[in-house]
Amino acid sequence: MELSGMDLSVVIPSYGLTALLRTCVLHVQSGLTRALPGRTAIVVVDNGSAMPYQANDLATPDVRILRLDRRHSFSAACNRGASTVPAARYLFLNNDVFLHPNAMAEMLEIARHETVGIVGTRLVLADNTIQHCGVRFDAGERGPYHHAHGRPSASVSRATTFPQAVTGAALMIDHGAFTALRGFDETFPFGYEDVDLCLRARQMGVHIGCGQKWDSLHLESTSDRRPDRHKASRRLFFERWRGRYSIDGDEGA
């Protein structure tokens, strides 16, 4: 994959929900203006929406729209978006994540550490409780889970953490690592592809960081609320990784 000269490509897979996507994009632009003005791109992957997105739907001309005529998995949509505008780093973002204006700058600061190839960020729900601040692993059937999920954000430490995995809802990755990993594994139909990516990266010696200073809003699964949506991917994850990840201790602050 030949680089386009971009420092960062933000890839947002999206299906319908145009107003939500527009708000997501406006938050991204605010973060880019503060953190990395210049050689950046925003790529919206229209994942088979019934009404294709138009440039004027997003309130800005500075967005590239990649149209997929049928709905693909999150993994496939992300991979295709990244190949559209290759960059030194990619930020994969759900359309229901509204980044804090300073969150992207913090992620980039952590990413510049020479051993860190993947970075996540703290995400909160609308009631300001934690949705994600790093992924931990249980010894039993629980497997990977969100650390401190549901706790008030104000009660959870703001120190940068280095977990085994972070969510793909807001995941920054170095081009070299992403290329070496051949991107997200497209055999995962829905869910767990982010944890799989992180675990494969760790096998290569890539460290993972998670910024904690800023609270970004995640509305969580706005476009797909099927109760069994993760079932097939969960089964695949355990077939591949059971007994091959470290078990985290009891949750602390």
pLDDT at position 114 is 77
* Residue 62: per-residue pLDDT: 81
Residue 26: CA count within 13 A, CB half-sphere: 10
CA 84 vs CA 2, 31, 158, 230: distances in Å: 11, 21, 35, 28
* Confidence (pLDDT) at 116: 95
Q: What is the pLDDT of residue 145?
A: 95
What pLDDT, in 10s, does the model give residues 161-181?
A: 999 999 999 999 999 999 999
252 within some domain: no
- Classify residue 249: in a domain, yes or no: no
Q: Which residues of the chain have pLDDT under 50?
A: 252-253
Residue 185 lies in a domain: yes
Ordered alpha helix ranges (H), 112-192: 175-180
Percentage above 70 pLDDT, the chain: 93
User: Domain count of the chain?
Assistant: 1
Sequence-distant (6+) residues with CB within 8 A of 125 are 131, 217, 218, 219, 220
pLDDT of 253 reads 40
Cα first-last separation, the chain: 41
Q: Helix H segments across 56-102?
A: 74-84
* Residue 1 falls inside a structural domain: no
- Domain limits at 188? 6-241
Query: What is the reported pTM?
Result: 0.94
Q: What is the pLDDT of residue 249?
A: 74
CATH of the domain at 13: 3.90.550.10
Tally Cβ neighbours within 10 Å of residue 194: 24
Say if 246 falls within a structural domain.
no
Helix or strand run (H / E) with residue 168: none
Please check whether residue 70 lies inside any domain of the structure: yes
What is the DSSP secondary-structure string of 1-53?
A: ----SEEEEEEEEE-S-HHHHHHHHHHHHHHHHHH--SSEEEEEEEES-SS--
Cα 223 to Cα 230: distance, rounded to the nearest angstrom:
14
Residue 21 belongs to a domain = yes
* pLDDT number for residue 220: 81
At 29 the pLDDT is 93
Residue type at 203 in one-letter notation: Q
Half-sphere exposure (Cβ direction) of 113: Cα atoms closer than 13 Å:
17
Residue 250 lies inside a defined structural domain of this protein? no
